[in-house]
Amino acid sequence: MMMSDAEPARPTPVGGRGSELALRVASALVLAPLAVGVAYLGGWAFALFWGIAAIIVMWEWTTLVAGSDRRSVLITGMAAVVLAVALAASSVGAVEYFHDLRFAAAAIVLAMGMLACAVIATRERAVWVAAGVPYAGAMGLAPIVLRSEAEHGFIAMIFLFAVVWATDITAYFVGRAVGGPKLAPQLSPNKTWSGSIGGLAGAVLAAAVVVKVSGVGSFVAAAMIAIALSVAAQIGDLAESALKRHFGVKDAGTLIPGHGGLMDRLDGFVAAAVLACLIGLAHGGMHAPARGFLIW
């Protein structure tokens, strides 16, 4: 989900960098309030929103990595992702036993879908194709797990959004303003260490603001978690850049003006969301993942 200093293979629009930035800002002004709005609503609206995102990501991933067997792989992968998200969403508000069972079933469905896609795909692309199922599944399941806790779920999502978006924005502007040594020139030639460090600083500041406004959590713990999430988001961005370079494409899709596909926009978010979910589950358990993520 990185807006960082910048996607290497994406050509500059005819209007120049100003036009590209204007498209990015306009897209963000639509997507950000929508994401916050559905996070506030929670429930099935939230699950549907991230379920659709997971389906689109599955489609973009399969289009990118699959060969002639694309249709069968896509049908199989999407079926697994849809069923997993539906199981996870149905666990929200369920009694304790069925809550745990349905999340476990969702993970099993994704594993089975991954294996099925690997069998269907050609041998040379089997690993790439199979990897798309847990990747797209994580896009849907991680936010649902965090938001499933009624008391702290919304604040957990706001914290996650704030950290990832602040990383994006500050990395983009600091990297362009300061420049300097390249972060990973073989993957993304325009990303710099200054932008990466600026992204970390922006993430910590955003986390501090969320803690101050919400009154949930401590500043020290929030800063440490923000740094971890920011690093994860930047690694996720670089990983998607490596994937696109491997398959020789500029963007994962064309869905979002100024950003390419949904994968291009959510590459950092999915990595950060998975880490946030794992932290919450490890510290708070299945029934308090958001509290475990926020309160130390």
Residue 124's pLDDT band (cuts 50, 70, 90): confident
Residue 188's pLDDT band (cuts 50, 70, 90): confident
Q: Using the predicted structure, report yes or no on whether residue 290 has a pLDDT greater than 60.
A: yes
Burial of residue 11 (CB within 10 Å: 0-12, 13-18, 19+) is: exposed
Q: Using the predicted structure, report yes or no on whether residue 268 has a pLDDT greater than 80.
A: yes
Tell me the three state secondary structure of residue 133: helix
Q: Using the predicted structure, report yes or no on whether residue 164 has a pLDDT greater than 90.
A: yes
| Spatial separation of the C-alpha atoms in residues 154 and 40, rounded to whole Å | 6
| Spatial separation of the C-alpha atoms in residues 206 and 232, rounded to whole Å | 16
User: Cα torsion at 40, 253, 28, 280 (round to 10°)?
Assistant: 40
How do residues 102-123 score in pLDDT, each as one tens digit? 888 899 999 999 999 999 888 8
Which is it for the CA torsion 283, 285, 291, 294, positive or negative?
positive
Which pLDDT value is given to residue 7?
Answer: 40
Residue corresponding to tokens 């800063």: 223
Among residues 280, 262, 285, the alpha carbon closest in space to that of 143 is found at 280
How do residues 193-209 score in pLDDT, each as one tens digit? 999 999 999 999 999 99
Q: What is the mean pLDDT of residues 32-56?
A: 94
Residue 18's pLDDT band (cuts 50, 70, 90): low
SS3 content of the chain, % helix, strand, coil (to 5): 75, 5, 20
Report which DSSP code applies to 260. Answer: B
| Spatial separation of the C-alpha atoms in residues 287 and 289, rounded to whole Å | 6
Among residues 76, 103, 111, the alpha carbon closest in space to that of 87 is found at 103
Which pLDDT value is given to residue 3?
Answer: 40
Q: Which two tokens stand for residue 190?
A: 């325009």
Which is it for the CA torsion 34, 146, 82, 243, positive or negative?
positive
Q: Which two tokens stand for residue 52?
A: 């659709």
CA 82 to chain centroid = 17
Which pLDDT value is given to residue 186?
Answer: 86
Residue 99's pLDDT band (cuts 50, 70, 90): low
